Amino acid sequence: EKAFVLRKIEYARHEGTELEGYSEGGPSLEDRQLIAVDWTQEGLDKVLDPDAEDLSNLQSDNSTQSAEGGTTVQQCLKLFTTPEVLSEQDTWLCGKCKSDVRATKTMGLWSLPKLLVIHLKRFNDQGGFYRDKVDTFVRFPLEGLDMAPYAKGPQANGTVYDLYAVSNHFGGTGFGHYTAFCKSPADGKWYNYDDTSVRPCSVDSVVSPAAYVLFYRRRDVGENGAA
């Protein structure tokens, strides 16, 4: 049972031929040709269902990527705040030695906000109009995200955050579908928002490879945003 089929199409057109039996390196494309993904109804239902237990029986003709391994949002934050030596194309004129030297860039957080929004880089620019979808599984805590290791300035209001919403993206660069997980302030339960459909979901389903934007609230802040 296939989750989707691949078709080769001409640019700005919808019709095309299904791809079958191509080599491991992928199908060859000519100028202004694209690859389209046609989801089957069974595959789409599985992908968009956050409570689906197993996707291993839904595969395309090519191999699927495993969510095992991956990384954590803490590792992403550590890498984001690690000093980076810029390339030789980004040198600057040193005021002391009067020579072009390679600079070091460091990103940091001076003060922590009441509401913290973490936007995961899910699309990799390949130049021109082409971007690749980054499907790395980024694990993140629902409670107790401590931002102290990444903050440079004094923090008088605490550094611990709890998750209250997640925006998910399914699909690729030219198409996709967005859903959201939100924690209700009324009953403290998690709900899945999918277009006009809103239904309860399990806590385990909130952390998934589809996570795109994470929304955290600092613990000293009330649910109405007041500290």
The SS3 call for residue 14 is coil
Mean pLDDT taken over the chain? 78
| Beta-bridge partners for 163 | 216
- pLDDT digits 0-9 by tens, 104-163: 888 888 889 999 999 998 887 766 556 678 888 999 999 999 999 998 888 888 899 999
Residue linked to tokens 């191509």: 22
Distance between CA atoms of 11 and 200, rounded to whole angstroms? 40
**How far is C-alpha 97 from the geometric centre of its chain's CA atoms?**
43
Predicted pLDDT of residue 12? 44
Q: What φ, ψ does residue 58 adopt, rounded to 5°?
A: -110, 105
- pLDDT grade for 23, boundaries at 50, 70 and 90: low
| Beta-bridge partners for 181 | 166, 192
Distance between CA atoms of 40 and 48, rounded to whole angstroms? 12
Predicted pLDDT of residue 208? 92
- pLDDT digits 0-9 by tens, 50-93: 454 444 443 333 333 334 568 999 999 998 888 888 888 888 88
- Of 78, 101, 213, the closest CA to residue 147 belongs to 78
Residue 87, both tokens: 């390339």
